[in-house]
Amino acid sequence: MNALSHIRFPLLAMLGLGAAPALAQDAAAGMPPPAVVPTLPPEGMVQPLPGQAAPLPPVPVPALSPAQEEWANAWLRTGTQQGLMARSRPAKPLSGEALVSALLDRARALSTGRIDGADFLEVWAMRPDPFNPRPSLAQAVADDRLAQWAAGLTPPYTGYAYLQKGLIRYEGIRDSGGWPTLASGASADAIRRRVGIEDPAVTPGEPVVDVLQRAQRRYGLNPTGQLDARTLTALNVPVEDRIAAIMANMERWRWMPRTLPINRVQVNIAAAVLTVFEGDQPVTSMRAVTGSPTNQTPMLSSSIHSIVVNPPWNVPMSIANRELFPKGRATLIKQGYKIVKTPEGGERIVQPAGPGSALGRLKFDFNNPFAVYLHDTPSRGKFSSYDRLASHGCVRLQKPVELAELMVAGDPKLDGQIQTLIDSGKTQRVSLPEQVAVYLLYWTAFAGSNGVVSFRADPYGWDKLLAQKIEASSDRADPAKPSTIASKD
């Protein structure tokens, strides 16, 4: 029995933050330690049979017919529509091996991402599965099914398809001159015109409060209906930066595995929201507190294997040296911390379990190389804020008890007993009846079926960096067609 199969919570609103994108339908609220996958042979190389001394030669791709070459060259010119470059590039038609190489490169870019592993930041711990497109390309050429082959390369999620529609809209806005810069005292008509460029639902004479509230929800801002400083800043973000955000999020979709557990927990780091999925549908959500810009929460995926009830906090040495030891031993002891000796002869700080523990009453453990986890917190004030990137990298939860109850519902001995275990005051580890997949993701742009895009702030600056890496990777893959747009700092 799946650990989340007994979820009975109603689907909650996204707490004023706008709908989080769902992975299997509208766009996920929130990535794995890197998935363990088999190592594939070099491109096109067939695995040797038992007893063979060497691998078989690469799978040959048949010569393309003139009609296939014409189609393939036209398809290669659609890179901007897939977010693989900021602007289209002039290109001479390719043929023969040059065309095959270009098709293979484009197939890899669409299936597993434009940038390669060397360009990943350490905290981008999501790694796409290896993919060798040569055998499927060879079969597609032989069967004259290139269009069908190409259509199957992109991520099979509507979240990606909707962003693609949004990208085309925003490129059209850019090519039409973008949008004007609004001043703080802008008139109602000016506000309607500006918001209407992105939001086709705006109508002449519509109350400006309604127009602004709808825009604020799309930007993840407090929907006051007033043209405050943060709303003005969001409206004045250049259209080129919005395009870069869409490109970056489309690339992150390409890093995702092609199939996902239908029951899972997802965290959108940028929006600081946790969403639980049952049967591939979001069933409940809660606010979270994620890593500050100087203590970034990594993108990763793993499986929650256990919950620690009444956990002590073994303070990481980086935090202890930077924030606690400078206070002095007497102050730390007065505040309830313990200073213990390490086997190496040093010292570390432990905060005992209790109502004041930084981990609160529950910690959700999953394997990852960053020592991050989900946990409770005694500091509840941040959950009422729209600025919730304030942790040291872990994810603090608004409703940890409810999440824990969902995870143990498959165990009759634990079902409904989480609060009882907490009240005992005893520190204990509870193994889950079945491990639960968890994804920490960084979604800053997601769209609806109409191509209207919602944005979140880019607190870590990853969008612009990733968009530049995508552009640079496209340049390296095709040096004969340099980018026609310079990157902006």
3-state secondary structure of 213: helix
What is the chain's mean pLDDT, rounded?
86
Closest CA to 323 of 309, 313, 310, 308: 313
- For 246-286, the pLDDT digits (tens) are 999 999 999 999 999 999 999 999 999 999 999 889 999 99
pLDDT of amino acid 95: 95
Domain boundaries, the chain: 262-441
- Domain 262-441: homologous superfamily in CATH: L,D-transpeptidase catalytic domain-like (2.40.440.10)
For range 456-481, the mean pLDDT: 86
For 197-229, what is each residue's pLDDT tens digit? 999 999 999 999 999 999 999 999 999 999 999
Rg (CA), the chain: 25
Both tokens of 268, joined, read 């959108």
Judge whether residue 410 has pLDDT over 90.
no
pLDDT exceeds 90 at position 36: no
Say which amino acid occupies 293: P
3-state secondary structure 387-401: CCEEECCCEEECCHH
What's the pLDDT at 337? 78
Three-state helix/strand/coil letters over 300-327: EEEEEEEEEECCCEECCHHHHHHHHHHH
Q: How confident is the model at residue 324 (pLDDT cuts 50, 70, 90)?
A: confident
Predicted confidence at residue 60, as pLDDT, reads 93
Assess contact for 466 and 248: CB atoms under 8 A. Answer: yes
Strands (E) in 38-144, as ranges, are: none
pLDDT at 44: 43
Q: Is 10 within 8 Å of 104 (Cβ atoms)? A: no
Q: What is the pLDDT of residue 478?
A: 64
* Tokens, residue 59: 């799978």
pTM: 0.84
